[in-house]
Amino acid sequence: MYKIMIIEDDLVMAEAIAKEMNAWGNEAVYVKNFQNVLSFFAAQAPHLVLMDITLPFYNGYHWCSEIRKVSNVPVIFISSAADNMNIIMAMNMGGDDFIAKPFDLNVLTAKVQAVLRRTYDLSGKVPMLEHRGAILNLYDTTLTYEGEKQSMLGAREQIALTEDDQTTIEDVALELAWNDETWVTDQPSLEAVLVDYMEQVDAFVAENGPHTNVTL
């Protein structure tokens, strides 16, 4: 099951899209507070975003660029502003496709399914975790906190990932956990490992200030 996040200020349309996505076995959520779209995105960790351009407070271009700072999740723009300039702008801001309103829900569903197939493998893993304001991208192992991004892994772990094509971030994280004397559980889950590291970051930031470089 994939999670689809809908950023559309027309509630009737948002609910209709959500109903269609759910009918095809996905889980659809839609934004209600348009001042905190990025926080909602991080909390929901969707596999795909459907984004209108004209929104309250900030437009879809702004939110797409904010999402791109923390994630490469596919973004499909849905808008009646379908002139060439807006389509080009949507692509340049990080969009993966553009569907002009009005559209047929069957066409929208087909495009969503196609993008999901191209983007994700059979595991359907969500490439992000959010914990206490810190956003961790599991694909590129970067941590974003207060707009600043850096790698979560040290040189040794990055070499492990690049030297062996079969090595995954899960392998590295679990190896770190096993070699960490502070761990007393039998075999921590990947999420537990990552949350622990994110708590270390939060504690460090709280002690040293938000603009201090963090090294794990």
Domain boundaries, the chain: 3-119, 128-208
Fold for 3-119, please state it.
Rossmann fold (3.40.50)
Average pLDDT over residues 137-153: 64
Task: Give the C-alpha separation, 38 to 36, whole Å.
Answer: 6
Whether the per-residue pLDDT at 181 is higher than 50: the answer is: no
Q: Which of 75-92 are b and which e, b meaning 16 or more Cβ less than 10 Å from the residue's Cβ?
A: bbbbbebbeeebbebbee
Q: What is the pLDDT of residues 4-55, one digit of tens each?
A: 999 999 999 999 999 999 999 999 999 999 988 998 998 898 999 999 999 9
Task: Render pLDDT for 76-93 as a digit per residue (tens, 0 to 9).
Answer: 999 998 889 999 999 998
